[in-house]
Amino acid sequence: MNDVVNKVKKTIVVVGGVAGGASAATRARRCDESAHIVLFEKDEHISFANCGLPYYIGGEIKDRAKLLITTPAQVAQRFGIEVHTQREVMSIDRVRKVVTVLNRETGETTEQSYDKLILAPGASPIVPPGPRAANVFTLRNLHDTDMLKSALDALAAREGDEPRRAVVVGAGFIGLEMVEQLHHKGFVEEELGRRGVRLYLGDGVLGLTMKDGLATEIRLESGLSLAADLFILGMGVRPNTQLAEAAGLTLGPSRGVKVDEHMRTNDPDVYAVGDVVEVLHGVAHTPLRVPLAGIANRAGRLAGGHCVGENPERAPAALGTAIVRVFGVVAACTGLSEAQAARMATPCATVYVEGGSHASYYPGAQSLLLKVLFHPETGKLLGAQAVGGEGVDKRIDVVATALHFGGTVRDLAQIDLAYAPPFGSAKDPLHMAAFAACNQLDGLVRFVPPTTKLHNSQVVDVRDAHELGQGVIPGALNIPLDDLRERLGELDPSRPTVVVCRSGKRGYLGARILSQRGFEDVAVLTGGMVARRLVAAD
């Protein structure tokens, strides 16, 4: 007790709550019982489950109260933190070490001094230019959620046969999740049943057409106009850097606040965490913004401990590991994508593997397609993506763990994963992908991507004849794998040859036969026709 009483009392001011700010404030308290900790939040709530908002709107989460992680009163009681909501920090005087705070309810301004300042102002949704209409929504906080849910409920209760239409702008996590939840609310069921959700990819937004204060349609750069009853904007976010920039804090190349490994800005008494900062990518080793809750929480914890002198840990690099569910399909990623690797001129090879969520002979196995990226010479893991149903999260999390420790595909091939028929396979899809990558590294096979144009290649389809109804490559010669050795005379060994099957496994076996029977240039279409149907076509 005497140590607490005699400790020099610091004043720590935290700007913003939710993931980064609330984590920073509570960690600071756990590390320093004597500190005077003040948290300012410009909105009503300091900590809520922002990732759960679409699921409440769609009715999967029934109770709105479950979205509230904690309240100002609870934080004050349990942690002894002075919490002020509806308070917006307007400016920082770094010389005097004070912040100016606006009371958004009364319009009054006050000053608060600090010894250490932690900025967690988050980011704001990107919206198209022009006036904001009452039926155009973003989804960033509980206020947005309540407004959108009220509008959706009103439309759902509307009488008559006129179809109810919604346009979701943006195919990020919020956009995809909201398409799914609008389906649950009954807005796109007829269209889904007839043609599926219509996608307009690679088309920019010019603006909204307004009538009587409401948006009636959205205009696209292609010249298309899409009419709807309501519009949901999921076009991404911009970091709220205005406060930091006005105070002379340095922004990085991604236009997020630049911080060091302890989340300190160029002012050692000012920290920044969450969506407002840029972080170092763990594979690319370049700064970028990754507005994800997990990263914000961990950064807040680090900053909160470090600012009271009790946490020497360094922030790890970010991998951008993320997952989203859309209807019955789950998609996830970690590390680099092929497009990112290409932009950075990073050598990159890929393998695709199709497998089951658990042993295929055990009931209920769901298919998943896994893509693993690696350096073509060293085998170092660069990233992975997966799409399917059950088990996608498990595989991506394993790859993310391997990436965190700088692993290679050879490491991935040897990871001892839990196996029992209801949970996995003796040869997990992760192992199969790693085995395939190792085979390429060892010169046993060469893979070509499913996007490869095959017009000038000798394509050998080693599937059985009854499988050809699932799609064929024009000009391919069908020779079932079990007949390949006897029918080699039908092929030209001097021509570049690509072997194709359903998912790539038989393609590899066929390629090994051909490459040892005098064929000079043999490759396998990685992922086979499964991957080609999903990601590319001639």
Domains of the chain: 9-50+63-124+238-306 (3.50.50.60), 136-235 (3.50.50.60), 325-441 (3.50.50.60), 447-535 (3.40.250.10)
Q: Is the pLDDT of residue 220 over 80?
A: yes
d(CA 136, CA 232): 6
d(CA 275, CA 259): 12
Q: Is the pLDDT of residue 256 over 50?
A: yes
Neighbours of 147 (CB within 10 A): 14
Q: Would you list the DSSP string of 47-63?
A: EE-GGGHHHHHTTSS--
Question: Quick one: average pLDDT of 123-129?
Answer: 84
Q: Is the pLDDT of residue 389 over 70?
A: yes
Report the first-to-last Cα separation within the chain, whole angstroms: 74
The tokens of 316 are what? 């790890």
Closest CA to 279 of 316, 241, 307, 237: 316
Q: Is the pLDDT of residue 363 over 60?
A: yes
pTM of the predicted model as reported, rounded to 2 decimal places: 0.87
Per the prediction, the chain carries an average pLDDT of 90
Q: Is 51 designated active site? A: yes
Q: Which of 164-168, 216-220, 349-353, 354-358 has the lowest mean pLDDT?
A: 164-168
Answer for the pair 67, 142: CB distance below 8 angstroms, yes or no: yes
Question: Quick one: average pLDDT of 18-41?
Answer: 95
Answer for the pair 352, 527: CB distance below 8 angstroms, yes or no: yes
Q: Which of 21-30, 278-287, 372-381 has the lowest mean pLDDT?
A: 278-287
- Split at pLDDT 50, 70, 90, the class of 507 is very high
Q: For residues 258 and 131, which has the higher predicted lDDT (pLDDT)?
A: 258
Q: Which of 51, 307, 333, 348 is catalytic?
A: 51
d(CA 347, CA 375): 6
- Split at pLDDT 50, 70, 90, the class of 183 is low
Answer for the pair 522, 507: CB distance below 8 angstroms, yes or no: no
Could you read off the pLDDT of 55-106 as tens digits, one per residue?
888 888 999 989 988 889 999 999 999 999 999 999 999 999 999 999 999 9
Q: What is each CA distance from 166 to 148, 178, 194, in whole angstroms?
A: 12, 10, 16
Could you read off the pLDDT of 331-361 as tens digits, one per residue?
899 999 998 899 889 999 999 999 999 999 9
Question: Quick one: average pLDDT of 154-173?
Answer: 75
Looking at residue 195, what is its pLDDT?
A: 43
Answer for the pair 319, 403: CB distance below 8 angstroms, yes or no: yes
- Split at pLDDT 50, 70, 90, the class of 255 is very high
Q: What is each CA distance from 474 to 96, 129, 299, 494, 507, in whole angstroms?
A: 73, 46, 52, 20, 17
Question: Quick one: average pLDDT of 474-481?
Answer: 96
Q: What is each CA distance from 404 to 13, 191, 382, 414, in whole angstroms?
A: 32, 42, 11, 16
Q: Would you list the DSSP string of 147-201?
A: HHHHHHHHHHT--SSPPP-EEEE--SHHHHHHHHHHHHTTSSHHHHHHT-----T
Looking at residue 326, what is its pLDDT?
A: 79
Q: Which residue has the tokens 């070490």?
A: 97
Whats the size of the chain, residue-wise? 538
